[in-house]
Structure 1
C-alpha cells in the first residue's frame, strides 16, 4: 500500500541512463532557479519603506537613490557570479570558491550559511506567498501557518518527482508573474506620465527631511538588499543545466539579473509616486495594484501570480540545497546520504530534509515573514562577501588576462556585501543574533563529522597497520526462549557451520522454570550444551551479555570467534509485530556494539 502511494505521488523510478533527460534548458532554468530572486521584488521595496516610515512619509523619496544603490550591488553580484560560473563550472558556488581560495573554515562558513539560508528561502517564500493570499482574502489570516505548511508539502512532493517535472509546472506561474508585473508597471508609469497620479501623494525628490541620517539610509539600503537573495543559486546549480552548462548558466544569470532590475526599480518608482505606505496586513504590491486597477480582474491576477511565485520561489531552495549538500557530503562534512539519488534521480534525502526543516521554521516563527527576512538576508550576504573575497584572492594569485577588471568587480561586490552584512548586525541585531550561535555550532558539527569519516577511512583501509585477527574456530551462542520450530531451525543452521562448540542460553525468571526446561532440553537436544542464567530481576539482556562477555574473554585466549545466532520468527503480516515483545531485536541492538562478537539473525517465516 505504501509503495502504491509513493508511486502515485512521486511517479515511476527512472533509470540512471535517463539522467541526461533531467537537465534543464535556459527557459526552464530561469523559472526554477530565478523564482526566489524575482519573487523578492514583492517584499524588497517594502523593506525599504518600513525603515523610512520611522522618520516620516516625506522620507519616501529616498527610496529612489537607495534603489539605485541596490541595483549597483545587483550588477556587481551578477558580473561576479558570472565569473564564478566559468571559473568553477562544476557548481558549488560560494562554498567551493571560499574553500579553495580562503581555506576550509571560510568555505564551511559559506556552505553552512547557504544551507541554513535555503531552509529560510523556503520558509520566507512560502510565508510571503501566504501573506499575499491573505491580503486578498483577509478571512484566511487565522490559517496562515496551516496554509504555509500545506504549500511546503506540495513543493516537496513536486521536487521528489524530478527536476524537469517540477520545472515544467513552475515555469508558468513565474512567467505569468513577470507578465503581470510588467503590465502593472507599464500601466502605472502611463498613469504617472499622463498626470492621472496626483503630485500631492509624494514628496518631491530632494526635499529636506528632518531626522534622516546616514545610518538610517544604510539601514534602509541593507533592508532593500534582501531583494537580492537567490542571486547565487544559479552558480550552485550548474550541474542541472544542459550542455554547455556554464554558458547556459551564465546566460540565465544575466537574464535573471535584467528582469530583477526592471521589476525592482519599477515597484520602487510606483510605490514612491503613489505614496504607498507599508501596512501590516496589506502588502505594498497589493496597494499598488489596487490603486492602478481597482479591485477588478487585473488586481486579483497580480495578487494571484504574486502569491504563486512567492510560494513557488521556495523551489530555488529545493534546486540549490541538495546540490550544495552533495558538495559538502563529498568533502565529508555532512552525512553521505545526501549524495544518494532517489527513484526520480534527484537528491531526495536533501529535498526531504529541506522540507522538514522549513516546516519546523514556519511553526517556530508562526509564519511571520517580517521576522524571517533579516535572518534570511544576512545568511545570504555572508556567503556573498566570502565568495567575492575568494575571487579577489584567486585573481591576485593567478593573474589571468584581464584580471584587473575582474578584481575590480569582485572588490566592489565584496565591499558592498560586507557593508550590508555589517548593517544588518548593527541595525537588526535582535533578529539576527542567533546566526552568531548556530553558525559556529554548524561549523563544529561539520568538523566532527569530517573527523569521524577520516577515522573510519583510516581504520578500513587495507594499507593500515592494524593487524588482521586470526580465527582458529567458532563458538556459537544461541539465546533460546523455548522449545520451538524457530529454535530448532536456528540450531540446525548453527550445526551446519561446523563450529567448535554450540551453547544454547536460556534465561528463566523462576527456579521452577529452570528445572523443567533443563529436563525437556536433555531429551530434545542432548548433544547441544544448555546454560541457564536465572534472572531474579526479570532482565534478559544483562545476564545474557555478561555470559557472552565471559565466553568472549575465554575464546580470545585460543583465537576463537564468538558468534551469537538469534532466532527470530517473522509474522505473515507486518502489523502482527506489535503483538509480540521483539526480544530478539533488543538483544541484537545491545550486541551490535559489543566488540569481538558476530551477531546473526536467523529468520523463521510464519505461514499464517
Structure 2
C-alpha cells in the first residue's frame, strides 16, 4: 500500500543511466534557479519603502537612487558569480570558494549560512506568497500558516519527482510572472506618461529634514533582499546540460538582466503612483490596483504573483540538496545526503528542507517581515565570503586580466560586508539567533567530520599483517519451552557448530522440573542449561550466564547469541505476546564481544 502511494506521488523509479536526461537546459534552469531572485521584486521595493516611511512620505523619493544602488550591486554580483562559475565548474558556490581560498572553517561558515538561507528561502517564499493571496482575499488572512504549509508539501513532492519534471511544470507560471510584471510595468509607464497617475509625490532631490545617512543605508540594505537567490546558479552547475559552466554563466546573465529590469520598473511605478507600504496590501497589489483597478487583470497579476512567490522556494529545493551533497562528500554532513532517490534527486535533502522550513513557518506564524532580515543575513554572509575568496584566488594565481577581476570582487566584498553589518546593527533583534545557530551548525559539522574520521580509523586494516582469526564458535540459544520455534532455531544453530547450548530461565521448581523432563524426552542433541530466577526476571540471570561463558571462551571461541523469534501474520497480533526476544537483543547490543542473531519463525495463521 505504501509503495503504491509512493509511486502515485513521485512516479516510477529511474535507472542511474537516466541521469543525463535530468540535466537542465538554460530556459528550464532559468525558471528553476532564478525563481527566488525574480520573485523578490515582489517585496524588494516594499522593504525599501517600509524603512523610508520612518522619515515620512516626503522621503519616498529616495527609493529611486537606492534602487539604482541596488542595481549596481546586482551587476557586481552577476559579474563576480560569473567568474566563480568558470573558476569552479563543479559547483558549490560560496562554500567551495571559501573552503578553497580561506580555509575549512570559513568554508563551513559559508556553507552553513547557505543551508540556513535555503531553509529561510522556502519559509519566506511561502509566507510572501500567502501575503499576496491574503491581499486579494483578506478573509484568508487567519489561515496564512496553513496555506504556506500546503505549498511547502506541494513543492517537496514536485521536487521528489525529479529536477526535469519539476522544471517542466514550474517553468510555465514563472515565465507567466515575468510576462505579467512586464505588462504591469509597461502599462503603468504608459498610464503615467499619459497623465493617468494623480498621486501627489515628493520631487526627486527635495529636502527631507529628518533623513539620515544611517536610515538611507538601512533602506539600501533592506532593498538588497531583492538580490537573494543570485548565488543559486553557481551552486547548481552540475544540474546543467553540457557545457555546464557555459550554460550556467548564460543563465546567470539572463537572470540579472530580467531581475534588474523588473526591479527598476516596480520601484519607478511605486514612486510615480505614490505607493505607501501597508500591512494589509502589498506594494505590487497597490500598483496593479492603481494601473488596472480591481478587475480581471488585477486578480490575474495577484494570482500569478502569489504563485511565483510560492514557487520561488523551488530555487532552494534545487540548491540545498546539492550543497548538502557536497558537505556530505567532505564528511561534514550525514552520508544519507549523498544518496539519490528513486527519481535520481537527492531526496533526503529535499525532504529535510521541506520539514525544516515548515517548522520555521509555524514558529514565525508565517510573518514575512520577521523572516526577511534573518533571510538576508543568511545570504549576505556567503556573498561576502565568496567575494573575499575570489580576491585571494586572483592574488595567488594572477591569471590574465586578474586586476580587473580583483577590483570587481573587492568592490563586491566591501559592499556586501557593509550591507551585512548594517543588517546586524539595525535589525539585531531579528537576526540575533544567527549568532547562536551558526556556531552550533559549524560545531555540528566538525563533530560529524570527527565521527567519520574516527570510524575510518577504527575500520582501517593493515593489508599485509592483519588477517581474519580462525576461531571455533559457541552458540547460546535462549529457549522458553519445547516448541516449533525452538526446534527451528536449534536446527539452524547445529548447522553452524556442534557447540550449541540451550538456556532456560525458570521461576519455580515446578516449571524447571517440567522443562527438564520434557527436554530429556525430546532429546534434540543439545545440552540444556537451566537457570533459576528468584526475582522473576528472564534477562538478568541470562546476561550473567552469557558473561560467564564470554569470559571463559573469549580467546578461543566466537560467542553467538541466537534468539528465536516468531513473526505473527498480522501486525496487531504482536501486542498479544511478550516481546522478550526484543528486550534480550536490546540489552545485548551494548556488549562488544557478543554476536547477536535472530532466527525468525513466521506464523501461517
**TM-score, normalised on structure 1?**
0.97
Native 8 Å contact 1:471 1:561 kept in 2: no
Distance in 2 separating the partners of 1:47 and 1:510: 79
Q: CA deviation at 1:568?
A: 1.4
**Secondary structure in 2 aligned to 1:43?**
helix
Residue 496 of structure 1, CA deviation: 0.7
* CA displacement, residues 477-514 of structure 1 (integer Å, 9 cap, x when unaligned): 11222221111101010001124x21222234445433
Instruction: Report matched runs for 1:476-515 at 5 Å.
Output: 476-499=475-498, 501-515=499-513
What is the deviation of 1:546? 3.0
In structure 2, the partner of 1:572 is: 569
- Provide the C-alpha distance between the structure 2 equivalents of 1:88 and 1:593, rounded to a whole number of angstroms: 46
Q: Distance in 2 between matches of 1:466 and 1:278?
A: 75
Deviations 1:331-382 (A, max 9, x none): 0000001011111111111111111111111111111111111111100000
Contact 2:559 2:594 in 1 (8 A): yes
How far did 1:579 drift? 3.9
CA 1:538–1:352: 2 relative to 1, 3 Å: farther
- Structure 1 residues 579-588 or 423-432, which shifts more? 579-588
Judge which range, 274-283 or 95-104, deviates more. Answer: 274-283
Deviations 1:258-295 (A, max 9, x none): 11111111111111111111111211111111111000
Residues 101-130 of structure 1 deviation map (CA, whole Å, 9 limit, x = unaligned): 000000000111111111111111011101
Pair 1:348 & 2:320 matched: no
Tell me the secondary structure at the aligned position of residue 564 of structure 1.
strand
1:418-467 Cα shifts (integer Å, max 9, x gaps)? 01110111000011010101101111110111011011111212238996
Please name the residue that 1:231 is paired with: 230
Select between 438-447 and 583-592 the one with higher mean Cα deviation.
583-592
Kindly tell me the number of residue pairs found equivalent between the two proteins: 605
Q: Conserved in 2, the CA contact under 8 Å of 1:31 and 1:174?
A: yes
- Other-structure match for 1:76: 76
Cross-structure match for 1:369 = 368
- Map Cα deviations across residues 227-272 of structure 1 (whole Å, 9 max, x no partner): 1111111111111100000000000000001111111111111111
**Correspondence for 2:444:** 445
1:430 equivalent in structure 2: 429
In structure 2, how many angstroms separate the alpha carbons of the residues matched to 1:543 and 1:279?
73
Structure 1 vs Structure 2 CA RMSD: 1.6
Structure 1 residues 81 and 493: alpha-carbon distance in aligned structure 2, compared to 1, 3 A threshold? same
Distance in 2, matches of 1:352 and 1:537, equals 48
Q: How does 1:533-544 map to 2 (within 5 A)?
A: 533-544=531-542
Q: How does 1:130-279 map to 2 (within 5 A)?
A: 130-198=130-198, 200=200, 202-279=201-278
Contact 2:38/2:259 (CA < 8 Å) preserved in 1? yes
- SS of residue matched to 2:592: coil
Q: 1:578–1:42: structure 2 CA closer, same or farther, 3 Å change rule?
A: farther
- Is this contact kept in 2: 1:570–1:605, CA < 8 A? yes
Q: Cα offset for 1:68?
A: 1.0
Shift of 1:547: 2.5
SS of the aligned residue for 2:563 comes to strand
Unaligned runs of 5+ in 2: none
Query: Which residue in 1 is equivalent to 2:522?
Result: 524
Q: 1:53 is paired with a residue of what secondary structure?
A: helix
CA, structure 1 residues 468+433, in 2 after alignment: closer, same or farther (shift >3 Å)?
Answer: farther
Answer yes or no: is the 8 Å Cα contact 1:459–1:466 preserved in 2.
no
Indicate the SS of the match to 1:203.
Answer: coil
Distance 1:66 1:361 in 2: 31
Provide the residue aligned with 1:550 in structure 2.
548
TM-score, length-normalised on structure 2? Answer: 0.97
Partner secondary structure for residue 54 of structure 1: helix
